Structure 1
Amino acid sequence: MKTRFICVFAAAVLFVSAVAAQEHPTVGMFPEAVFDAVEAGEAYAAVKVAAPGYTWAKSRWRPPLVVLLNGKKRASLIPIRGGEAAEYKVFLGPVGAGRHTVSVADPSKKEGRVVVESVSAGILYPRDDGYERISRAPVLLGRQDNESSDAPLMMWTVESATASGIALEYTVLFSNEDGGTKTAELMARYGRTVDIEYVYRVAFDADGRLVSETFQGPNHEELPFNGRKIGEHPVLRVCTFNNMVCDDGDSPFVFMNYPVEFDADGVRERMLDREPWINRVAFEELTREGKLTKSTPDPERMKIDDPRLYALVDIEADVPPGGPGIEISLKAAGGGEWRSASQGVDEMRFKGAGKARLGVLMPEGCSPEDIEAVRLEAVGVPGSRATILSLGPITFLDADFRPSHKEIIWKKKRALVAGSAPAIIKISE
């Protein structure tokens, strides 16, 4: 099935009547945005805010800020990027024709806790490109601890062709997961400590009629959606510590992250490469939760070393059901030893298929230019096979979590056979 990746922002979307902030806004004097809707549509807003002196590593953020539409709460907002003045985009759901006002409130009423620099707002109409996708975006009710852990940072949308029409799938990126896959396994097998989960899928026939709605429930079970909606937006609640969702219940935390354009070129972890702040926030959460160590591998697989010491290797593999795991190792120039993603721990070895990013812990000071060779090995029942379809790039994060890459010249598929000699690929300068 051919899949294409889409952006929910229409090129011609109009931001209207953004009211600029004062240079030094006082408490309760946050800026507002006013917009006029000529007909019913879907509203959205962008809030530029900073939290002076705050970092996600320091403490939880409670209560969240509130984004209001016409004086009524629509969305929760956590200034998770701390003192950095950053823009947070949210969708606000359906609105009717007329004038509307978007505002921001801080329920804590603590002076100086936040500085709201600007608020802007806009609307998509049914005729606009992207309307269907924004109008179906799920409203995510947070867990009671999302003010300090596993916060939803990003949402994206994928449109795919089906036998009878199309499907829209919504995926959410969380700052970590407190249950499910352990931190060291996440880093080794996915090259990240954030959690990426599909939450909602809706399918239509060729005439645009609704065919089905499903969500990813506890135990990764795909379940039919039978919950309430705001307009056409399904309301889902994060109901497990590994960020699965349910279609019932309530929460004071209402997350309405505006879906962004998905990067179809390579592994989905490339979404983190274009938003370095996500890796920084994830690191801050690891710091606060005591999930960092210099003694690796951690016997409990709950802790890792500084993520900036890991080489992140993109790979695409074709592995049949029951096929072998794939061990990937790197060697630095100057006679360094081979270092594997799994660090010799079976639970940390990649055993999947498709596109993935694997994390290999390297010596301190190692950079992309230092990587001399890659070793690939199938680990499993002797004679079982896997095929490597593509390899690279290799990515490192700098001190500010910005990515740098080293490409690997890859000319053809390469078969790996468990029990046979590994394949060694030397990397050209």
Structure 2
Amino acid sequence: MKAQQTLTFTVTETIHVAGEGFVRLLARAPGCDWSRRGAESAVADITVDGIPRAQLVVHRGEALAEYTVALGYLEPGNPLVGITFRPDLSPPGAREVQVENASLGTIPENHPDYLLWRFAPRLYGRPDNATSDTPLLLLARYRHEGAYTRLAYAFVWSDQDADRSMLQRLAQDGTPMDIDWVYELTLERRTGRIPKAVVQSAGQLTDPLRGRFVAGHPVLATATRNNMVSVQGSSPLLFALPPVWAYDETKGPRERALDAFPWALELAAKEIRREANFVPSTLDPRNYLYLDFKTTLSPGSLLAVQATLRDGRTSVSDHNNPTLTVFRSGWNRTALPLPPGTTPTQLASVRFLRRDKTPAKHLVESVTTFVLDAKFQPQPFRLAITV
């Protein structure tokens, strides 16, 4: 039986400077764990002066953890923010959402990240996002191009229930999480006019953004089991994630932004364990060697990475599967499985392999390597690499 509705936790603070608002809270979900089937998380409503703004999936279980929810534009004053457990939206094993502390704040117009917050999309999730493929992060970046600023947003989900397997994501993206850019707009800085705004929809097509907004923010909807989005549709779960400055695409892969959030990778690993019938070492992201590198590839070129241990055993990033190779020019991240506890001295060599038969040359440069410690924190793993 699901728990009964609990009392609303309220917080009010004086907002002195108008801007894009947020609530930051320390919360826990007693009895829940993302690896526990039927008790993965607990869901709460977030309201401002009684008006719903979003739902929060408390997915980090019984331990107190920090969550931030974007609230939209707040004027100076004393807004009342409410946080209320929603048993009807939560898994059956969820009992309550406990909030220990919460505070309000704004990102004012003179803040360097204001534009990222001002145009950050909201996302109607799938109805099952309290138990699977939950949105964890909203990555954002901007680039100035003459008189215009180009902003782009990508959601990070804990997993992907269709299309690309976990092994494929590790081989081609270097992470078990699912990342897709969803929304891009061009802003004329002098006038504030937006001459172009597009959404990446199913099939990686681009659709013009239509006029649907919540608290002044464009609203998208998850449309497929592999987390593609649409400009239409809704669900009981509306996510309002704060934008996180993602990356400088000239200096590294976008996945580098995830390194600052080891809790997200731990959550993805829990979902992998929960959904797998068995858990071989290849399903634990901590048993991988990760490589960041920049490539210049001709059309049709396919790359993989091979590690050879001193005892003669080998491991390859593409698992000897041609659909798991790296094929993009630019910055990439890949990962290849290693026996648990492998140290650099146990490796005889690590080298890049061509998996195609085209005569075109390729270039690999700026290679860095790392592994994950027990807490999913990246740790340098210094090796000599043959490119």
TM-score of the superposed pair, with normalisation by structure 1: 0.81
Counterpart selection for 1:229 from 213, 238, 242 = 213
The answer (yes or no) to whether the contact 2:18–2:106 under 8 Å persists in 1 is no
| Structure 1 pair 361–291 and aligned structure 2 pair: CA distance change class (3 A) | farther
Tell me the SS of whatever aligns to 2:272.
Answer: helix
Tell me the SS of whatever aligns to 2:368.
Answer: strand
Structure 2, gaps ≥5 residues long: none
Residues 364-393 of structure 1 show CA distances to partners (whole Å, capped at 9, x for unaligned) of: 321345334221122213412211122112
Q: What displacement does 1:68 show? A: 1.5
Q: CA RMSD in A?
A: 2.4
Residues 59-116 of structure 1 show CA distances to partners (whole Å, capped at 9, x for unaligned) of: 3557611111112221111111112211111111123443201121112299963321
Q: What displacement does 1:137 show? A: 0.7
| Structure 1 pair 63–392 and aligned structure 2 pair: CA distance change class (3 A) | closer
Q: What displacement does 1:261 show? A: 2.6
Match of 1:259 in 2: 243
Residues 1:405 and 2:380 aligned together: yes
Residues 1:155 and 2:138 aligned together: yes
| Structure 1 pair 252–62 and aligned structure 2 pair: CA distance change class (3 A) | farther
Match of 2:290 in 1: 312
Match of 1:21 in 2: none
Match of 2:202 in 1: 218
The answer (yes or no) to whether the contact 2:159–2:176 under 8 Å persists in 1 is yes
The answer (yes or no) to whether the contact 2:42–2:58 under 8 Å persists in 1 is no
Counterpart selection for 1:167 from 145, 150, 154 = 150
Q: What displacement does 1:31 show? A: 4.3
Match of 1:13 in 2: none
| Structure 1 pair 164–381 and aligned structure 2 pair: CA distance change class (3 A) | farther
Tell me the SS of whatever aligns to 2:58.
Answer: coil
The answer (yes or no) to whether the contact 1:43–1:91 under 8 Å persists in 2 is yes
Task: Give the letter for the 2:201 counterpart.
Answer: G
Match of 1:11 in 2: none
| Structure 1 pair 212–248 and aligned structure 2 pair: CA distance change class (3 A) | same
Tell me the SS of whatever aligns to 2:267.
Answer: helix
Structure 1, gaps ≥5 residues long: 1-26, 296-303, 411-423
Match of 2:301 in 1: 324
Match of 1:301 in 2: none
Match of 1:199 in 2: 182
Bigger-Rg structure (1/2)? 1
Residues 259-297 of structure 1 show CA distances to partners (whole Å, capped at 9, x for unaligned) of: 1232445322223322111111001111111165439xx
TM-score of the superposed pair, with normalisation by structure 2: 0.89
The answer (yes or no) to whether the contact 1:227–1:247 under 8 Å persists in 2 is no
Counterpart selection for 1:81 from 60, 67, 80 = 60
Residues 387-408 of structure 1 show CA distances to partners (whole Å, capped at 9, x for unaligned) of: 1122112x22223222211245
Residues 1:209 and 2:193 aligned together: yes
The CA distance in 2 between the partners of 1:368 and 1:281, in whole Å, is 27
The answer (yes or no) to whether the contact 2:87–2:95 under 8 Å persists in 1 is no
Match of 2:232 in 1: 248
| Structure 1 pair 367–70 and aligned structure 2 pair: CA distance change class (3 A) | farther
Match of 1:361 in 2: 337
Tell me the SS of whatever aligns to 1:385.
Answer: coil
Counterpart selection for 1:381 from 357, 369, 375 = 357
The CA distance in 2 between the partners of 1:400 and 1:130, in whole Å, is 29
The CA distance in 1 between the partners of 2:75 and 2:256, in whole Å, is 37
Greater displacement, 59-68 / 87-96: 59-68
